[in-house]
Amino acid sequence: MVYSKNIVLGVSGGIAAYKACSLASKLTQQGANVKVIMTDNAMKFVTPLTFQALTRNPVYTDTFDEKDPERIAHIDVADWADIIIIAPATANIIGKLANGIADDMLSTVLLATQADVYIAPAMNVHMYAHSAVIKNMQTLVEWGYHFIEPGSGYLACGYVGKGRLEEPEQIIQTIEVHQQKKAQLFLKGKQMLISAGPTQEKIDPVRYFTNRSSGKMGFAIAEAAANAGASVTLVAGPSQMQVQHHQIERVDVTTAEEMYEAMLEHATKSDIIIKAAAVADYRPSITYDHKMKKQPGPLYLEMERTRDILQTLGDQKEDQFLVGFAAETETPIENGYKKLQKKNLDAIIVNDISLEGAGFSGDTNAVTYLNKQGREEKLALNTKQVIAEQIVKLIHEDLEGQ
């Protein structure tokens, strides 16, 4: 995960600065583009020329050394960075950052950057345990900074205890693990609204019209979205499925009208809307409070249209990314594109339910993802969990491409 990343290595003034040379070298060898910032005190331990030779990039030591008149150096470096590592991080630089002090090149870059910042402390064992240092570190953790804890052992000052700069290999490994987890949360900060399952349209107290939808596909998409970092509202028709993820808020409904109202209520607060539910197109015009008695001869029930949830969402959508489902048995792709355009969708999942293993209630599915730009991605037969993960990634790719 450090390969091809722009990494700023901030070196502050501690004896462990010599380890930063090895860290810079290993990052460069692994394909990272490394720029080093040194504090005045860091230069008393290691020369800038050492880091320049190891990274093949200029080393920054002075906030006011503006080599390019068209750019402000500390802002340019702060914007350039994907990742910033402070190693070693002394009590002094930790205190500056926790208190918003910007009086040199490193501290100004740290206040200006939006990159992930990893802090690898190195100091005397008693300094590391001091209340001020602990408080400053706690503050930075609350602000979203990431700490790479020092190791224990013999320190340069002669003490034995916690305070040794973590080894360069472990620093890189810790960063890569965190970056990998972060990459999986590609929908973090997104609000997603998903409908799932069937609806039930009452005839009398014991009878209703419904369909064969189990809700498995919609629930799987909700889980995949939550695993990707999204906050999910799941509007679920009657289903035996259970919600597992803590970032999924379940809203239970029964009828098409209830689902219509719930979806519209949450739509304006959502970034992504997926209508995976199999909603009844018709409901009985007249319902009965008491059980209908069996009568001789045929039974005729007058049916009326339910309100079209997806069409309404398409008509009213502003900047939401709207995805529909189309369960088809004939010319599925052609019908999918027609529905995509008619209902003002950004994408549609076409499900040919005539294919073996791709119908309702099963644990597998095979679908085709279509978007309004003409993208057509066939997702081969697989478990509904895997298909859901693929759908969520395709939606993310479309959002990134907007």
The residues that are catalytic are 157
Q: How far, in Å, CA of 188 to CA of 186, rounded?
A: 6
Phi, psi of 275 (to 5 degrees): -100, 95
Question: 244 to each of 59, 70, 136, 241, how far by Cα in Å?
Answer: 50, 53, 37, 10
Q: Give the residues across from 250 on adjacent strands.
A: 234
Beta-bridge mates of residue 365: 382
Q: Contact at 8 Å (CB) between 344 and 177?
A: no
Return the SS3 of 371. strand
Residue 64 annotated as lining a ligand binding site? no
Helix/strand/coil percent split, the chain, to 5:
35, 25, 40
Helical H segments across 244-295, by residue range: 256-267
Burial 126-136 (b: 16+ CB within 10 A, else e): ebbeeeebeeb
Tokens 């930063």 identify what position?
20
State the DSSP string of 53-122: HHHSS-EE--TT--S-TTS-HHHHHHHH-SEEEEEEE-HHHHHHHHTT---SHHHHHHHH--SEEEEEE-
Token representation of residue 162: 């916690």
Place of tokens 């750019």: 71
Q: Is 35 annotated as a binding residue?
A: no
Tokens encoding 227: 């695993």
User: Which CA distances in Å does 280 have to 79, 111, 211, 359?
Assistant: 52, 55, 8, 17
Widest pairwise Cα distance in the chain: 102
The answer to whether residues 286 and 201 touch, using CB atoms and an 8 Å cutoff, is no
Tell whether residue 281 is among the known ligand binding residues.
Answer: yes
How far from the centroid of its chain's Cα atoms is residue 375's Cα? 23
* 378 annotated ligand-binding residue: no
291 marked among binding-site residues: yes
Which residues make Cβ contacts (< 8 Å) with residue 348, sequence separation at least 6?
Answer: 323, 324, 325, 326, 336, 337, 339, 340, 369, 370, 371
Are the beta carbons of 366 and 358 closer than 8 angstroms?
A: yes
Which residues participate in the annotated binding site for CTP?
Answer: 281, 291, 325, 339, 343
Which residues participate in the annotated binding site?
Answer: 281, 291, 325, 339, 343
